[in-house]
Each structure stands twice: as structure tokens, then as C-alpha cells.
Structure 1
Amino acid sequence: MAKVIVLNKEDFEKLSEDVSPEYPFLKDNREIMSASPGGLFRCLMVRAEGEKENMLIAQRKDTLYLGYGRDYRSFDLQGVPVEHIALEEPKAYQEHAVFYHRPSHISDLNGQNPLRPVPERQTCFQVEQVVVLSDEQFRQFQENGLKDDQIFLFDYSDKMWFDPGSFCWHCVLVKGENSRDGILVDAEGYSYARYAAFAPDCDKLRLQDVPVHYEYPARAPEQKKTRKRKEPER
């Protein structure tokens, strides 16, 4: 068992009716799932809060394998991580992008430059680091800074490379504090955007567990303090 996912009862019933591989929590946990028919299955256990019955989910490439358990207590779950989540609707992630060599301006990346038409072929990518700039810094980076040396790209040079075996770009996502879009960068050992691609909606990128750096004066959002419930006296 790789992980236990706990939902509320309504979400568990909804998932039980249609287990789509597009659910975000399945996408986010696909690296820890595996399936070897006739052999070992590394599964997620999904159950409802306060209920015994559970669903076992394993994945191999795009194929899901499902199982049913009557009582989760019959499994040895010692040391297995538990995550309580709200079920998010399936959404389409951006899986591919067009990387351009030595772009000068955001228009070179988003299809607005007629001299750089968007090619049909796109390649896969994986974000290894997120760098958040202030909105003004990000605007300047898009309009004038793609060819300029950037300290934050130099600092994360080890997070960027191209894997010819899987034809995948490992890159840094650069975005503004309040921007919806972002720029995927592979500096290829340099400190400027030697290769870059446009990401129109950062919410559709796989960023779970990806480290985030806020470049001054950008600041991480303040965490809202939650008031602890007072334990009833016994």
C-alpha cells in the first residue's frame, strides 16, 4: 500500500460511480502507483471518513486497476502515509509545450509573433522548480528579460536539462505573484532563457511537491491562522 486517501462520504460515493484517471489526486500520485498483473501492485487505498469499506487503485501507464476492500482495518497500514483531501473534478493538464530557442519577447512564445509560427510538434516537460517574481518583475522578464542573465536561473541551473531518451524538458517555471500564465525555461547551463515555452494557465501544470522560490520583492502568501477547537472536558 503506497498511500491512504481519505474522502468525505459524498466524495467517496461520487468516485465509486466513475473512477476517471483524470482525477487530479490520481495524476498527482501516479509516480507511487504501479501494477504488474500476476505480480506486485502498489496501490492507493481510498476510503470515506468513518467508514470501513475502501477502494484500491493501482495504475500502469494509462490503465487503472481497481479492487474492493470490506474493512480497511484488515490491512497492515503501519507507516503508510494518510492524506485527507476534497475530491477535485477531473481537469485537463497541460502535458506538452513548444520550446523555442533563444526567444527575445513573450510574443516569440505565445504565437503572437508572425515570424515565429507555432509548430505542430510539441514535446513533454516536467517542472522541477517554480520561481515567483513580483508582477512587475515578471512583466519585465517577459518583455525585455528573456535574453538577459538572471540570477535565479543561474541558481537553479541543476533543475534544467533535456532528456533525449524520453524527449522531455526538465525546466523551471517562472511566473508572477498574481499571473495566470508563466514561462517554462531550460537555460541549458546558461543564466538566460536559452530555451523557453509558454504556459497559458499555471493551474493546469503538475506542481504538487515542486519547490517554490519567491524572488525578492515577491513574497509567499501568508498562511491563514486556524483557530484550534477546544477539546471537550472528560
Structure 2
Amino acid sequence: MLENFASFYRKAASVRDILEKAPFPEKARFQITKVIELPKEQYRRYMNELLRDVSFISRNVSDMGFDGKTETFLCLFVTCRDVNTGLLVESEGFGYARYAAFIPEKSALSLDGIPTERASEKYLCRHPTPER
């Protein structure tokens, strides 16, 4: 099995927050349980509103978690067909990205055989994000 590692950040509001933070001293192991594919505009908006509750995370809470035995984040990979970036998300049971890691090159991941869900979040950017 190919092992993957990434720097996860807790409660980042946007991808910009992740990119501006100092890197964690250690990268964490992760396993992608499902790929969530958003339309391009909604993907772009989502990357700026990571603390927003979204239905694709709520629907897939059971596919995420942290396996303490193997020290592995079980997470969703949120992306768009037309871009080569993505975001690993672990919600810790919530409806938003409680832990997130930005992946600048999704082509470096092995996504073959991982279920893909095409999702749509039409309400993104219409309401202010609540404090968490």
C-alpha cells in the first residue's frame, strides 16, 4: 500500500490560511476514502470558506476520522475535474473541514479505485461564515 503524508491544519478558514501558516513539524499519514468533485466555481468558493457547513461533508461523516492505531487521517479529497489541486478534509464529526491539508498536485496521488461523488454546493458565499 502506498503511504501518503500531508500537513493537516485545524480550523483553517481558507486555503490561503493553510498556505500562510508555518508548516507543522511532522506530516501526518492519510488515506482517502472518497473523492468529492465540485464544479469549478463552487470549488473555488469552497477553498475560501472551509469553516462553512456543507452537505457533502455532512453526508460523508462516517467516511472520515482518525485511526489512532495506525495514526492515519481517513479523509475526503475535495477537488474539481478541471484543476490539479485539492484539499484533504477530516471533519471530526462536524459538517465542515475541521482538519484540512492542501494538495498542490493531485496527479501525485493514486486515486484509482476510490469512489467519486459529484457534489454541488450552490449556497456557497451567500451568507457569512459563523465563528467556530
Do both share a fold (TM > 0.5)?
A: yes
Q: In structure 2, the residue corresponding to 1:203 is in which secondary structure? A: helix
Give the C-alpha shift of residue 204 in structure 1.
1.2
* Matching of residues 22-171 of structure 1 within 5 Å: 30=1, 95-109=4-18, 111=19, 113=20, 116-143=21-48, 145-171=49-75
Equivalent pair of 2:3/2:29 in contact (CA under 8 Å): no
Once residues 94 and 11 of structure 2 are traced to their aligned partners in structure 1, the CA distance between those partners, rounded to angstroms, is 11
Q: Quote the RMSD (CA, aligned, Å).
A: 1.6
Equivalent pair of 2:74/2:90 in contact (CA under 8 Å): yes
Higher RCO, Cα 8 Å, sep 6+ = 2
Q: Deviations over 1:32-66 (max 9, x none)?
A: xxxxxxxxxxxxxxxxxxxxxxxxxxxxxxxxxxx
* 1:38 corresponding residue in structure 2: none
Once residues 183 and 94 of structure 1 are traced to their aligned partners in structure 2, the CA distance between those partners, rounded to angstroms, is 17
Q: In structure 1, the residue corresponding to 2:13 is in which secondary structure? A: coil
Q: Deviations over 1:83-142 (max 9, x none)?
A: xxxxxxxxxx78210111001010122x3x1xx211231011000000000110011001
* 1:203 corresponding residue in structure 2: 107
Aligned residues: 121
Give the C-alpha shift of residue 166 in structure 1.
1.0
Q: In structure 2, the residue corresponding to 1:136 is in which secondary structure? A: helix
Q: In structure 2, the residue corresponding to 1:121 is in which secondary structure? A: coil
Q: 2:115 aligned with 1:215, yes or no?
A: no
Equivalent pair of 2:78/2:89 in contact (CA under 8 Å): yes
Structure 2 residue ranges without an equivalent (≥5): 122-132
1:172 to 65, 70, 76: 76
Rg larger for: 1
Identical positions, percent: 29
Structure 1 residue ranges without an equivalent (≥5): 1-29, 31-92, 218-234
Q: Deviations over 1:3-35 (max 9, x none)?
A: xxxxxxxxxxxxxxxxxxxxxxxxxxx4xxxxx
Give the C-alpha shift of residue 208 in structure 1.
1.6
Once residues 62 and 83 of structure 2 are traced to their aligned partners in structure 1, the CA distance between those partners, rounded to angstroms, is 25
Q: Deviations over 1:131-157 (max 9, x none)?
A: 0001100110011x2000000000111
Give the C-alpha shift of residue 171 in structure 1.
0.2
After TM superposition, where is structure 1 displaced by more than 2 Å over at least 4 residues in a row? none
